[in-house]
Amino acid sequence: MSHVASMHGAVEPAESPLTPESWGKLGMWIFLAGDAVGFGTLLAGYGAMRATSGDWPSPMEVLGINLTAVMTFLLICSSVTMVKALEWLGRGDRTRARVLLFLTALGGAIFVSLQAYEWTHLIHRGLHINGNPWGASLFGTSFFLVTGFHGLHVTGGVIYLLAMMRVVKRRPVPAASYNAVEIAGLYWHFVDLVWIMVFTFMYLL
Amino acid sequence: MATAEHKHPNYMAIFWWLAVLTVLEILIVLPWFRPENKLVVGVLLCALALGKAAIVAMYFMHLRFEARTLGLIAVTPLVIATLLVFVLLPDGFAVVKKTVGVKAATTEPVKH
């Protein structure tokens, strides 16, 4: 170990200034802020394209909201199971926490499956990334880009949650995995938060 | 590293709030409820979406129990995205104007 590296522990403050319980949590918040800028840019670009387009199709008529309303409800439910998992972990009940983490991941997996079904259905009706029968071709481009980017986040989240189930099982005591699960929860709730925005701006408005 | 456990609010109450706000959003866009004025629909939907996002961030992400500076980190992307819309709009309208101008010029009869 170099001299600088050995000194690092002495110069670095022991506690993160904003999240005293862990540096990882601060790291996740900063990552999420960066990711939110990414989603914000996509949605802002969508808004600007739509506002300045003369033949933007009506999303309600093309996309429909029955299935996506169910998907929205599913993500809200999975956010509840996520916070409940953390709550039970805090009480020391590892088994219940793992079951709730599994249910959260299952909610995410069903969400992605429904999205795949929706995409297939829309593609068969003629909505493509480079054009569609209803109007501006950028409608399909922006739809697949934004919902696809979000779907990738959900897929990543499902893998992350399954990994957390393993972490909870392996750590010697429930409290040892509390921070890790809380950080995973931040990511999962962010995915839910982004969907709230996507649902409003891309389906309802 | 310390393990600080958060105060856990009543998550089921928060779930019901989110569910009710989602139902309200859907009601607003249904043909028999939808207000005539598009601006009113837009403002209502944006307000409901921001309200739901705030509930998720405050209670599920525990922002309400965190340092205020962390809240600033969380709000910054929203400010950037909002500004970005206003930055992009003039450019978008300029393209529309130019396209309309070109279309008008090409459809005008040629004078000899």
Query: Does residue B99 lie within any of the structural domains?
Result: yes
- pLDDT (0 to 100) of residue B91: 74
pLDDT confidence band for A49 (50 / 70 / 90): confident
Asked if residue B1 is part of any domain, the answer here is no
Report residue B29's pLDDT band, with 50, 70 and 90 as the boundaries: confident
Between A2 and A20, where is the model more confident? A20
Which range marks the domain in which residue B106 is found? 68-112
One domain, residues B54 and B100: no
Contact A112, A155 (CB under 8 A): yes
Q: Has residue B8 got a pLDDT over 90? A: no
Residue B110's identity, in one-letter code, is V
Query: With an 8 Å Cβ cutoff, are A21 and B4 in contact?
Result: yes
Indicate whether A124 belongs to any domain: yes
Answer whether residue A2 is part of any domain: no
pLDDT tens digit sequence for A105-146: 999 999 999 999 999 999 999 899 888 888 888 999 999 999
Size of interface A-B (CB pairs under 8 A): 142
The mean of the pLDDT values for chain A is 87
CATH number of domain containing A197: 1.20.120.80
Q: Is B53 on the interface with A (CB under 8 A)?
A: yes
Q: B67 in contact with A at a CB cutoff of 8 Å? A: yes
The answer to whether the Cβ–Cβ distance between A15 and B74 falls below 8 Å is: no
A18: in domain: no
Is the separation of the CB atoms in A134 and A145 below 8 Å?
no
Is residue A178 included in any domain, yes or no?
A: yes
Whether the CB of B72 is below 8 Å from some CB of chain A: the reply is no
3-state secondary structure at position A28: helix
Check pLDDT > 70 for residue A10. no
DSSP assignment, residue B6? P
Residue A174 forms part of a structural domain: yes
Q: Read off the pLDDT band of A177 (50, 70, 90).
A: confident
B85 domain residue, yes or no: yes
B20 in a structural domain:
yes
Go through chain A and tell me how many residues it has. 205
Number of domains, chain A: 1
With respect to residue B22, please indicate whether it lies within any of the assigned structural domains.
yes
The model's pLDDT over A64-92, given as tens digits with 9 standing for 90+, comes to 888 999 999 999 999 999 999 999 998 98
| Whether B12 and B58 share a structural domain | yes
In chain B, % helix, strand, coil (3-state, to 5) comes to 75, 0, 25
Q: If you search the block for the tokens 């790291």, which residue do you land on?
A: A27
Please indicate, yes or no, if residue A11 is contained in any of the structural domains.
no
Which of B45, B84, B92 is nearest residue A51 as measured by Cβ atoms?
B92
Top pLDDT among A1 and A29 is at: A29
Residues B40, B15 share a domain: yes
Q: CA nearest A99: which of A79, A84, A110? A: A84
Domain limits for position A59: 23-204
Nearest CA distance, B104 vs chain A (angstrom): 15
- What's the pTM value of the predicted model, to 2 decimals? 0.85
| Domain assignment present for B79 | yes
- Tell me the mean pLDDT in the region B21-40: 84
Q: In total, how many domains does chain B have?
A: 2
Q: Which phi and psi angles does A128 have, rounded to 5°?
A: -120, 165
* CA torsion through residues A10, A11, A15, A19, sign: negative
Does the CB of B104 have a partner CB in chain A at under 8 Å?
no
